[in-house]
Structure 1
Amino acid sequence: MLRIVLALALLTLPAAATEIYRWVDDKGQVHFTSSPPPEAASRAEEINVNFNVDAQRPAARASYDDVDDYDGDEMDDAESETERPKTAADLKREQQDEWRYQCEKAVKTAKSEYEVGVDVIKRNHSGGYISADKMKQQIDGLSAASKSVSMHECIGSTGDRKRAYQCLADYKGLNNCGFGSFL
């Protein structure tokens, strides 16, 4: 509790060298003030503070956040909990989750490339750059390449196929990653 009161007192001070007085009254109550304590105060001590409030706010807030005393026992509950060491099963699950995420990226990349690719191929045809036959050939090739990408296959892939999915997850494209030639 004392750390919280001190942190709050320090946050309300102007940026400059400031004297803070910490003193205990005759009832045992601790006070922090910017003016000298009354004559009756016992155990008064002067605390010299020289800081820039704005620069100190994140540190003060962090120290306040460190006090995680939800049950009122003046013990930091966050420190009282111990983190369980990761087991081999935990690490394997993390790797599987990361690979699932990469597969999701690969599938989204394939879908996006298909949608954009069809639009570009159609524009090339309407602009007179490719014939109708070439447009159909490219769209069919792009469609086949994008359909060859699936979450199920990605998750179970190994070796070269897994590298191809990683390539696709890195946004390098269906054609560049070995999912077909359609250009």
Structure 2
Amino acid sequence: MKKYKLLSSMVAAGLMTIAVSAIVTDASAQKTTIQTKAFVCGTSSGAPATIAQTNRGDVPVIRWTSERFRDAGYSPQRRCLEVSARFHQYFRNQKLNYLTTGIMNNQQVVCVASGEGGNCTGLLFTLQPGSEPNQVLKNLLAVRVRASGPLNESASRVYIDMSEYLKQAAVEDRSNSQSDNPIW
């Protein structure tokens, strides 16, 4: 009889431990959920920037500092406005899953893909001819390789998981900057 009570106590304690562990795991999973509200063109470190407005703060995604497209009529500010509007449109349509590179209209581009290893499903912006697309994408988003990070590399392309990126990217202190208007 004592063996039976001891065994049932151990089973009960084990079940209690599992239940508490599940509750703690569920609570911590909820804390890491990032809710994105909008993508806007604002400023970051004095430069035009595509910014994700999230529940944990503003996350600069791309700072637009290159003047390489100015002669074609695309200043950094214009690129910021146009690309931020595309980010927001893909976000609203639930198509902003992964960023990757590809070829569209015979030009190298940064685009959105529905999944890792997938093809481009929408254009974000065109790259300068002769650039190394994968390196440009990594540099633009300042992505660091981590075991659980947003960066995944296949044999020929880089894929950035946007939900993981927004969880890990630094939030910018915007207390002293002007209010940014969302791109709708």
TM interval, shorter chain, is under 0.3
Normalising by structure 1, report the TM-score.
0.26
Report which of the two structures shows the higher radius of gyration computed on alpha carbons.
Answer: 1
Q: Relative contact order (alpha carbons < 8 A, sep ≥ 6): 1 or 2 greater?
A: 2
Normalising by structure 2, report the TM-score.
0.26
Whose helix proportion is higher, 1 or 2?
1
Whose strand proportion is higher, 1 or 2?
2
